[in-house]
């Protein structure tokens, strides 16, 4: 069950990241400016944010087997429509649509939290979160490799087929998962608004999630255009391989879960945000040194995943509906991601790589300041 949920999380979330190494190729195909590609990343994240607010609360109201398999099927159909896109507006609409339905990743996480054995919640959530991170990393690598052979459209066609196949597996293999709350949809949305002013651990997790994902998005929105230009001039396939540099983040997902279960949530948050600040310092030097860039990418993916697993493990300990908690937390995270993508694209286009990298330093510095100010309050 955990393997199936981790696979679902990875394939679904990957749909939002195929575009990143393909930005130069898509812009060239449509005759658009490179900045248009950066905006497509933002559109995808905006779709994910909309799905978190509109679809994820349904996880407390309906059978989650139906919800997971249905959202996965819609994601697959959206990917196939994207493969047939005739222009940037059409592709942007598809990214918005399957970005919204790919929140099935978070449905998988909530299912994992519910079926975890006592005392192993952090590790179980970490396993599924590790599957999601693997999807993010392999999305860039596979997209670059497939694009070399079949173009960027082939990437979306292949992904659509895989996602539809997984949707069928979810329907066949998941047991019935009945709703936990019977309120109407409007009541659920009102409860989300009330929850924003709710528990302090949730608010802190939202800050950590938003700042770290903003920094993450700054990096991956600007990395492909930087590597495709001088002095490197790398191809899409080679650029996609840089996603593998963050594989250490998968280990961070499991390790972070174990540290949380052992009661070291404070250490994880403070240490991860400090790591993020240092890693972006190396990334800023990546314009001249591939070694510094690769080490920085490893640090950013590891730091982000440590924060993510600790945040999710923290909020799932609150005695509140998991769908609502995940909706609020992930919405704040992707607000940060959309801001980071847009800011990174603008700064890179106008001031260059160093300026966009310093924005990443700033985001992590904010998270570190909040962590240090509240280090006595993190579980």
Selected residue with higher pLDDT from 41 and 153: 153
Is 60 exceeded by the pLDDT of residue 207? yes
Q: What is the mean predicted confidence (pLDDT) over 69-95?
A: 91
Is 80 exceeded by the pLDDT of residue 259? no
Instruction: Give tens-digit pLDDT for 22-41.
Output: 877 888 888 776 666 667 87
Q: How confident is the model at residue 164 (pLDDT cuts 50, 70, 90)?
A: very high
Q: What is the mean predicted confidence (pLDDT) over 144-154?
A: 88
pLDDT of the residue at 379: 47
Selected residue with higher pLDDT from 343 and 177: 343
Q: What is the mean predicted confidence (pLDDT) over 49-68?
A: 81
Is 70 exceeded by the pLDDT of residue 107? yes
pLDDT of the residue at 181: 67
Is 80 exceeded by the pLDDT of residue 69? yes
Is 90 exceeded by the pLDDT of residue 71? yes
Instruction: Give tens-digit pLDDT for 351-364.
Output: 999 999 999 999 99
Minimum mean pLDDT range among 38-52, 81-95, 268-282, 329-343: 38-52
Residues 6+ apart with CB under 8 A from 336: 209, 210, 211, 212, 213, 214, 217, 363
CATH no. of 2-373: 1.20.1250.20
Is 70 exceeded by the pLDDT of residue 247? no
pLDDT of the residue at 70: 93
Residue 72, φ and ψ in degrees, nearest 5: -65, -40
Instruction: Give tens-digit pLDDT for 274-310.
Output: 999 999 999 999 888 999 999 999 899 888 888 888 8
Selected residue with higher pLDDT from 215 and 39: 215
pLDDT of the residue at 138: 82
**Structure tokens, 88:** 């940037």
- Distance between CA atoms of 214 and 360, rounded to whole angstroms? 7
Minimum mean pLDDT range among 85-94, 136-145, 219-228, 260-269: 260-269
Q: What is the mean predicted confidence (pLDDT) over 161-184?
A: 84
Nearest 5 degrees, angle CA 168-CA 14-CA 211? Answer: 135
Selected residue with higher pLDDT from 269 and 61: 269
pLDDT of the residue at 162: 95
Task: Assess contact for 201 and 320: CB atoms under 8 A.
Answer: no
Q: What percent of the chain has pLDDT over 90?
A: 27
């Amino acid at each position: 069950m955990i393997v199936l949920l981790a696979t679902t999380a990875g394939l679904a979330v990957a749909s939002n990241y195929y575009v990143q190494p393909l930005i130069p190729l898509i812009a060239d195909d449509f005759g658009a400016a490179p900045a248009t590609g950066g905006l497509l990343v933002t559109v995808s994240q905006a779709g994910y944010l909309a799905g978190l607010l509109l679809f994820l609360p349904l996880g407390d109201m309906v059978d989650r087997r139906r919800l997971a398999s249905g959202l996965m099927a819609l994601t697959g159909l959206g990917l196939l429509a994207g493969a047939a896109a005739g222009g940037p507006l059409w592709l942007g609409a598809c990214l918005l649509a399957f970005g919204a339905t790919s929140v099935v990743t978070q449905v998988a996480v909530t299912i994992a939290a519910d079926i975890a054995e006592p005392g192993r919640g952090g590790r179980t959530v970490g396993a599924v979160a590790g599957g999601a991170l693997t999807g993010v990393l392999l999305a860039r690598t596979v997209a670059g490799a497939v694009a070399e052979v079949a173009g960027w459209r082939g990437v979306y066609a292949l992904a659509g087929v895989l996602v539809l196949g997984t949707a069928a597996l979810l329907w066949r293999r998941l047991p019935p998962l009945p709703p936990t709350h019977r309120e109407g949809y409007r009541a659920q949305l009102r409860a989300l608004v009330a929850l924003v002013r709710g528990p302090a651990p949730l608010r802190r997790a939202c800050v950590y999630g938003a700042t770290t994902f903003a920094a993450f998005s700054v990096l991956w929105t600007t990395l492909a255009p930087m590597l495709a230009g001088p002095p490197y001039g790398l191809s899409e396939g080679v650029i996609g391989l840089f996603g593998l540099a963050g594989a250490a983040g998968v280990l961070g997902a499991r390790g972070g879960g174990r540290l949380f279960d052992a009661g070291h949530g404070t250490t994880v948050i403070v240490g991860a945000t400090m790591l993020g600040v240092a890693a972006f310092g190396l990334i800023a030097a990546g314009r001249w040194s591939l070694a510094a860039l690769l080490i920085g990418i490893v640090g950013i993916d590891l730091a982000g995943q440590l924060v993510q697993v600790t945040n999710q493990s923290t909020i799932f300990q609150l005695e509140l509906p998991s769908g609502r908690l995940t909706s609020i937390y992930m919405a704040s995270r992707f607000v940060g991601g959309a801001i980071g993508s847009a800011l990174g694209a603008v700064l890179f286009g106008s001031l260059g790589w160093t300026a966009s990298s310093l924005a990443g330093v700033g985001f992590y510095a904010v998270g570190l300041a909040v962590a240090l100010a509240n280090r006595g309050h993190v579980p």
